[in-house]
Amino acid sequence: MAWEEVKFGELLTLKQGFALNSKSKHYLSDEENGIPLLKISDLFNNTETLFVKKEIPKQFLVFEDEIIYSRTGQVGYAFMGKKGVIYNNCFKVIPNEEKINKKFLYKILNTEIIRNYAQTLATGTAQLDLNHDAFKSIKINLPPLETQQKIVNLISNYDDLIENNSKRIKLLENMAEELYKEWFVRLRFPNYKNTKIENGIPQGWERVTVDSLLKQLKGTAKIKTSEMLTKGRFPVIDQSKDFIAGYTNEKDINYFGGIPFIVFGDHTRVLKLINFSFAKGADGVQLLVSNNERMPQLLFYHNLLNVDLSNFYYSRHFKFLKKEKVLLPTKKIASEFNSFTENLYKEIDLLRGKNQNLKQTRDLLLPRLLSGKLDIEKLDIK
């Protein structure tokens, strides 16, 4: 069967998200008793900031295997793997799976060509808004279901490799964190049996504020989300949970001083350890570097991971982080911890590099597959 040109309206239906206003605010709930309300900012940052009661009408619910599409403000982004309540600035995309494979549709929705076209169809002066009819008018070249499945399988092979590397990264991170807790929480560090405890901490150690450990850094320009590229010379690091948010070619605004940088999300509380040249994302990104040789960057990073700021809810958190106290060990113990964990983080950096290469190859391949420029119909892809 040949590929055919069809409109989205022939392939899917849409369900609008939940509008939070004076008439519906009674659905708001606390985190313990509610389910997350998935705003666009939460979808991008992998955060949960508002919650609604479980009694909310079922038409607004979304599950991990369903597609969410952003229609207001940041128009044209598709998400899967989320569970909660769709907010009014998005809608749920429900494919007719007798005509189009759900994962194939998801891949199409996240291509630049469809996103850019959707944004041209959106209207509004204060902020763009894409209505249902405009979305349904978008045309695509649709291959037979068998070809759709082959494309999904091929791309999924890349996704599986990326996922396996991500699991290995998580395992290595857990090993480093377990060593930190053994030495600095349970206080079973080398030679601990022969070390006196004074005022609840080992002799020669101190409790100091995070602020007292921070080196003053010169500020540079930031890359806005709207300025990020899908590929470029330097990764852009922001406060979202995605390790790399995008790319830039602006060589004069990248950081790298030969040591890892700690990136802290002022809103999200996300911490990242960055050991390569990068550019700083926009609002809410704080760069942290230790000014004390008794607090090398790897130890500083794990100290900060163990600071609990969850009670401050949605706020600027950096001012609270600076007031927190952490353990400052002797130079010998700090150096030993750094030596043990350095090799773990070298392996983590290597795996992250492999993942970036896999993602770039996948993302270059995908548009050619979806346009039919790369013929795979005769290939046996599983």
Cα→Cα distances 40→44, 73, 78, 349, 360, Å: 6, 9, 10, 30, 25
Distances (CA, A) of 262 to 163, 237, 270, 306, 341: 24, 11, 10, 14, 15
CA nearest to 211, candidates 281, 286, 306: 286
**CA 84/CA 98 separation, integer angstroms:** 26
Q: Which CATH number fits domain 4-142: 3.90.220.20, 3.90.1150.180, 1.20.1050.10, 3.40.50.300?
A: 3.90.220.20
pLDDT, residue 123, reads 93
- How far apart CA 354 and CA 174 sit, in angstroms, is 20
Cα distances from 45 to residues 8, 21, 37, in angstroms, run 28, 23, 13
Looking at domain 159-341, which of 3.40.50.720, 3.40.50.300, 3.90.220.20, 3.40.640.10 is its CATH number?
3.90.220.20
Q: Which stretches of 315-375 are assigned E, i.e. beta strand?
A: 325-328
Query: What pLDDT score does 313 carry?
Result: 62
Query: Which residue, 12, 6, 195, 155, is CA-closest to 91?
Result: 12
Residue for token digits 């009694």?
A: 55
Q: How high is the mean pLDDT in each 10-residue block of the chain (382 residues)?
A: 91 94 89 89 85 92 96 94 94 96 94 91 90 96 92 92 96 98 97 94 96 86 84 87 86 74 89 91 88 97 91 76 95 97 96 92 88 75 64
Domain ranges of the chain: 4-142, 159-341
What is the pTM assigned to this prediction?
A: 0.79
Give the pLDDT score at 114: 92
Q: Does 159-341 match 4-142 at the fold level?
A: yes
pLDDT confidence of residue 1: 65
Q: Give dist(CA 223, CA 339) in Å, integer.
A: 34
Nearest Cα to 208, choosing from 313, 299, 309?
299
Rounded to an integer, what distance in angstroms lies between the CA atom of residue 1 and that of residue 374?
Answer: 16
pLDDT of 86:
95
**Buried b / exposed e across 209-243, counting CB within 10 Å, b at 16+?**
ebeebbeeeeeeebbeeeebeeeeebbbbbbbeeb
